[in-house]
Structure 1
Amino acid sequence: MSSCTDERNAQILIQVLKAHGIKKVIASPGTTNACLVSSMQSDPFFEIYSAPEERSGAYMACGMAAESGEPVVLSCTGATASRNYMPALTEAFYRKLPILTVTSSRRNAYIGHNCDQVTDRTVLPNDVAKISVQMPIVLDDVSEWNCIINANKAVLELYHRGGGPAHINLETTYSKKKVADIQPVRIIRRFMKYDEFPNITAQRVCIFVGAHVEMDDKLERAISEFCKKYNGIVLCDHTSNYRGEYRAFCSIVADQYYWKSTIQNVKLMVHIGDISSSDYKIQAKEVWRVNPDGEIRDTFQKLYNVFEMKEVEFFEYYNKKKQDYSNSELLIAYHQEEKEILSRMPEFPFSNIWIASVTAKKLPSNSVLHLGIRNSLRSWNYFDTQETVTGYSNTGGFGIDGSLSTVIGAALCHPDRLYYCVLGDLAFFYDMNALGNRHVPSNIRILVVNNGLGFEMKFPASWGYSIANSIGVSEDNYVCAAGHYSSPDLIKSYVYGLGFEYLKVSTKEQYLDCLPKIVSNEKQDRTLVVEIVVNSENEDAALNLIGSIMVDESNVAKAAIKKAIGKKGIDAIKKMMGR
């Protein structure tokens, strides 16, 4: 039986190489690569050759890769060893030869501190590797995940889009410990449209749609047919823009604190679209990502397959397969849960959530909804709009800035469509200069939910913690930036000065009186700004209410224990249990 170093990052790399059948290795002498090379030497899978001089070893790899048609691994130590690879790797880059350079080193923390044999491998010339990644010492779950992803990325790039060299910098602690068995490593594979795809064997499939442009009819039909064939549903929020019959607008179902939905337990999740504010607490065993960029984006840390192609090509391929479960059990289960939750809907206090609850379905046909990060986006994701409304949010950078500017740019494209922007007071003031632009059109309606601070940073009581309060200070002044822009007429004066129409409300009754004007489909000659004054206590209470509609008493007990003993106590219990 072969032995292996106990350095987990080296174990991960060895497992990924073996999974992809990469066995040819050219090793140069050294100490920082001793753990890796010795482990490979102990494993009969690898075919290892020695090259005492790195420049020659790299050119040997060029000849070996070109002649054999197989990837070749280069391994060297610290100091200037890796610099001697560059001439041959330049050759490999322009000839697209699959050479994986593994430069072992002491930890990157030593870079720049006059430590012997430490060189900076974090930046490479553009034409010696298609990709360069770091595999640091594994200290916790996050660093292990990082190493697994980076090892997979580097190996997959050897074959990607014609192939070529890739680089891994592997840190070491010179460990002298060994293990007999290596813990399994998740292997990620990439498929192009001309490859043979894996079969779908899952009896339940969900499609997670992140932020997505409006879908054309062809893609929407292909997704719906896929769901019908494989017992699937499509998990959506306002930014997903899938409107087919399998749409599950499920934040209100998935975000219950003390109860778990049946839709959250699936074997396979197909991930399309880009960054989303929602995760729906899905516990999928596998994730397949479909995107023309072909990148490894392991949002849910369960990624196994990446399909580099248009989404419609993926769904049409599987729609032609013989497997056909023709079962809508998952969709039916979701609709039953949603109906039950909606039947128990509580009366919310005056808040962003309440505003969304009475407004979303009344937005005019073919209007466009832009939501600010993040409280507005979360609050409105609990309540669906009518089918012809599309939704967007600046989830790419996921910052507070730019909501007003974005909706202005969008509204200029279609003067006959109504554009709504819902955002908080800090987000409004951050981007308020945009309203002074002389191109601001009249087809925009802006709802400013003014709670006087950054509610998202307040860590609502329903979440069970507050960093500032645990330290013994108020979070309002600095963490949440309360007290700025405190003049009660500031927005009014600014908006009037620009010639816009302005309304201010501070009660439910006042808002309901204004609602017909807000959702009117009639074209207006001025931009409308509605300032809605709420307080953070009501915001907190509404969030707690909407997350507690369905209650499993056992989960309430678990939550109470968790809150009582804190994170350190939970970690101690897990350690005792060996988890």
Structure 2
Amino acid sequence: MTSIIPFLQLADLCVQKGIKDIIICPGSRNAALTVAFTSNKSLNCKSISDERSAGFIAVGQSISTNKPTVLICTSGTAALNFHPAVAEAYFQNIPLLVITADRPPEWINQHDGQTVFQENCYGKHVKKFFHWLPDQSEASISYAERTSNDAINLADSGPVHINIPIREPFYPENSNLEFSPWKNIQFAKIDHVIPKSEVDLFLQTVRNSKSKLLVVGQNLDKNLGEVAAIFASKYGFTLVGDSISNCEKGIKNQDVILKTIDSKSLESLKPDFLISIGSSLISKSLKLFLRNTKAENHWHIEDEEEIIDPFISITRKVVANPQIILNQLIEIDCSHDANNQWDTFEKEAERRIDNYFDQNSNYSEFQVVNELIKSIPTGSVLHLGNSMSVRYVNSIQKNIPLNTEIHCNRGTSGIEGTLSTAVGHAMQTDKAIYCLLGDVSFQYDKNALWNNYMPSNLKIIILNNGGGIIFQMIKGPKEQDSFNEFFRTQQNHKADLIAKEFGLTYISINKNEDIQKGLSKLNKSTKPTILEIFTDPEINELVYKTLFK
């Protein structure tokens, strides 16, 4: 018989380590886990039926709290449905603890129900995999105590998986839930002071470099963006960051700059010294520019040891926390001038964007997105769908209000989970959560609305252009005979009945005259709301591409 005591101890250990939020997907094999976690009144447990959506809701909660959210499910394909969210968390280093119930080993691959190979089922997409032993001997429980401590400690920096084989019967037969708590094994991470030799090498490289560039990829910490700006100003670096870098200072119009200036001007921007921090970039133009120019010195600062080099130019990997390193360098008594060539092109790009919207009266989703961005109240949170939603915003990030927090699932850049991530984030904060995504992304993830905890601060904006418009924007798909059915995946679904089914307020925009009225209703709404924007894909393509001509 399976004792519930180790599961109660596991739930209590989570509390000891500061974890509060639990997402449980209903099932039978995980019944002991469900009873144990829901009986602990220090935990905030929510029941989400769709495992794929549940995974991204947990990711959204962890983004908000910066603490691991615990994901619990039954055995079989339920565990596999967490995989997209686990992968996203891995590539963004989002805290997450996945606990999957499993069949005992004697029933694996024996034609037993709800059984798959769950050991290491997330492969390289978790920081580490742990597996409880199937029996409950004293030695096995001691092993579970130690490995669970290790797992929860590691989950602070990315997804960790605990797989637990559970034998029948699953349900406790009495109400005695008394237990002795497991010990909380502490874990300390020490960040060292930069060695003098590294400081000397940095200062020498700065002195020998005329053009210096600091590129910030996806980053969830606004403090890092602020530190990066101070560092760049002190040492004469040009700071460049996408909208998802959450840097409020620096170059904002790199897409327009790099797509519109001539080759001679482009050559003048080539960096001698490149420092990169953060993860992925949205801007393909910036990635290609850095790959083609290949800085003589490219330092990448990250606290992971693996060498990651998207620009194919890295010359030095600094394994450290970027914020700590930059702060230490800021304290050094020296300063250096900047090459202001980027600033000149930035001002020209700003004028180009302003003139573009002033002179373009065609109704399009790019125009509506621009008005939406300008209307968002300061201090809001904006979740962006992949494909065109994030690219629209990245092209006009100069119009993003101050103190706006930007998120996008760029760890894997998939279309699934955007709405679920926003829903999870909205559950954990009183801030207004805006989720801008395309019609295909919305339809793919509409089960995010299938829960009993729909937050009133959620505002969903759907760009309904009748399919996947990014295939209209890039070269190649549109020229194929199979374009509409197999690339753009043309569809004619709307969200009005979905809003009605789940009790959300519904607003639509169909023409220029609707824009300000629709945005005003959205921003003033005190209930979860869907704003659906209907546009013509051909006009959308024409209007967007005009900006870069």
What is the TM-score when the length of structure 2 is the normalising length? Answer: 0.58
In structure 1, which of residues 354, 359, 362 is the aligned counterpart of residue 367 of structure 2?
354
Matched, 1:515 2:529: no
What amino acid does structure 2 have at the position aligned with 1:432?
A: K
In structure 2, which of residues 307, 317, 338 is the aligned counterpart of residue 306 of structure 1?
317
**Residues of 1 paired with 2:437 and 2:540: CA distance?**
14
**Structure 2 vs 1, CA of residues 340 and 293 (structure 1 numbering), >3 Å: closer, same or farther?**
same
Residue aligning to 1:142: none
- Give runs of aligned pairs for residues 409-420 of structure 1, distance below 5 A: 409-414=424-429, 416-420=430-434
**Residues of 2 paired with 1:323 and 1:514: CA distance?**
52
| Cα offsets for 1:289-313 (capped at 9, x unmatched) | 1111132111111111111111123
Matched, 1:474 2:482: yes
**Residues of 2 paired with 1:538 and 1:294: CA distance?**
47
* SS of equivalent residue, structure 1 residue 256: helix
What amino acid does structure 2 have at the position aligned with 1:440?
A: M
Residue aligning to 2:329: 318
Matched, 1:373 2:386: yes
* SS of equivalent residue, structure 2 residue 452: coil
Matched, 1:206 2:213: yes
| Cα offsets for 1:31-85 (capped at 9, x unmatched) | xxxxxxxxxxxxxxxxxxxxxxxxxxxxxxxxxxxxxxxxxxxxxxxxxxxxxxx
Tell me by how many angstroms 1:499 deviates: 1.0
* SS of equivalent residue, structure 1 residue 275: coil
- On the 8 A contact 1:352/1:376 being kept in 2, the answer is no
In structure 2, which of residues 412, 417, 437 is the aligned counterpart of residue 423 of structure 1?
437
In structure 2, which of residues 255, 259, 263 is the aligned counterpart of residue 256 of structure 1?
259
**Residues of 1 paired with 2:193 and 2:315: CA distance?**
14
| Cα offsets for 1:175-220 (capped at 9, x unmatched) | xxxxxxxxxxxxxxxx99447223323222222111101222xx44
**Structure 2 vs 1, CA of residues 479 and 343 (structure 1 numbering), >3 Å: closer, same or farther?**
closer
- Larger of the two Rg values belongs to structure: 1
Matched, 1:454 2:468: yes
Tell me by how many angstroms 1:259 deviates: 4.0
- On the 8 A contact 1:192/1:307 being kept in 2, the answer is no
**Structure 2 vs 1, CA of residues 336 and 494 (structure 1 numbering), >3 Å: closer, same or farther?**
closer
- On the 8 A contact 1:422/1:446 being kept in 2, the answer is yes
**Residues of 2 paired with 1:452 and 1:237: CA distance?**
28
**Structure 2 vs 1, CA of residues 264 and 480 (structure 1 numbering), >3 Å: closer, same or farther?**
farther
Residue aligning to 1:266: 271
**Structure 2 vs 1, CA of residues 221 and 357 (structure 1 numbering), >3 Å: closer, same or farther?**
closer
Matched, 1:530 2:531: yes
Residue aligning to 1:432: 446
Compare 267-276 and 438-447 and name the one that shifted more: 267-276
- On the 8 A contact 1:237/1:381 being kept in 2, the answer is yes
Residue aligning to 2:420: 405
Tell me by how many angstroms 1:491 deviates: 1.3
- On the 8 A contact 2:471/2:478 being kept in 1, the answer is no
**Residues of 1 paired with 2:478 and 2:376: CA distance?**
39
CA RMSD of aligned residues (A): 2.6
**Structure 2 vs 1, CA of residues 324 and 195 (structure 1 numbering), >3 Å: closer, same or farther?**
closer
Larger RCO, structures 1/2 (Cα 8 Å, 6+ apart): 2
What amino acid does structure 2 have at the position aligned with 1:352?
A: E
Residue aligning to 2:26: none
**Residues of 1 paired with 2:536 and 2:454: CA distance?**
30
Tell me by how many angstroms 1:532 deviates: 0.6
**Residues of 1 paired with 2:476 and 2:227: CA distance?**
45
**Structure 2 vs 1, CA of residues 258 and 476 (structure 1 numbering), >3 Å: closer, same or farther?**
farther
**Residues of 2 paired with 1:284 and 1:338: CA distance?**
24
* SS of equivalent residue, structure 2 residue 420: helix
What amino acid does structure 2 have at the position aligned with 1:367?
A: S
- On the 8 A contact 1:254/1:264 being kept in 2, the answer is no
| Cα offsets for 1:423-477 (capped at 9, x unmatched) | 001000000011121112010111100111111223x2xx5x32462xx523111
**Residues of 2 paired with 1:544 and 1:420: CA distance?**
26
Matched, 1:236 2:251: no
| Cα offsets for 1:535-565 (capped at 9, x unmatched) | 21112112211111xxxxxxxxxxxxxxxxx
* SS of equivalent residue, structure 1 residue 247: coil
* SS of equivalent residue, structure 1 residue 453: coil
What amino acid does structure 2 have at the position aligned with 1:473?
A: D
* SS of equivalent residue, structure 2 residue 463: strand
Matched, 1:543 2:547: no
- On the 8 A contact 2:303/2:321 being kept in 1, the answer is yes
* SS of equivalent residue, structure 2 residue 243: coil
How many residues are treated as equivalent by the alignment? 341
| Cα offsets for 1:203-247 (capped at 9, x unmatched) | 22222111101222xx4453233212222222122211122xx42
- On the 8 A contact 1:233/1:330 being kept in 2, the answer is no
**Percent of pairs identical after alignment?**
21
- On the 8 A contact 1:193/1:309 being kept in 2, the answer is no
Matched, 1:226 2:231: yes
**Structure 2 vs 1, CA of residues 413 and 343 (structure 1 numbering), >3 Å: closer, same or farther?**
closer
**Residues of 2 paired with 1:236 and 1:288: CA distance?**
16
- What residue ranges of structure 1 are gaps of 5+ in the alignment? 1-125, 127-190, 549-579
- Give runs of aligned pairs for residues 132-281 of structure 1, distance below 5 A: 193-194=194-195, 196-197=197-198, 198-199=201-202, 200=205, 201-216=208-223, 219-243=224-248, 246-257=249-260, 259=262, 264-279=269-284, 280=286, 281=289
- On the 8 A contact 2:251/2:343 being kept in 1, the answer is no
**Residues of 2 paired with 1:327 and 1:456: CA distance?**
37
- On the 8 A contact 2:471/2:477 being kept in 1, the answer is no
* SS of equivalent residue, structure 1 residue 288: strand
**Structure 2 vs 1, CA of residues 272 and 389 (structure 1 numbering), >3 Å: closer, same or farther?**
same
* SS of equivalent residue, structure 2 residue 544: helix
- On the 8 A contact 2:253/2:350 being kept in 1, the answer is no
**Residues of 2 paired with 1:417 and 1:314: CA distance?**
31
**Residues of 2 paired with 1:258 and 1:368: CA distance?**
33
What amino acid does structure 1 have at the position aligned with 2:538?
A: E
**Residues of 2 paired with 1:230 and 1:349: CA distance?**
44
In structure 2, which of residues 291, 308, 321 is the aligned counterpart of residue 297 of structure 1?
308
What amino acid does structure 2 have at the position aligned with 1:494?
A: I
What is the TM-score when the length of structure 1 is the normalising length? Answer: 0.55
In structure 2, which of residues 441, 444, 457 is the aligned counterpart of residue 443 of structure 1?
457
**Structure 2 vs 1, CA of residues 264 and 424 (structure 1 numbering), >3 Å: closer, same or farther?**
farther
Residue aligning to 1:116: none
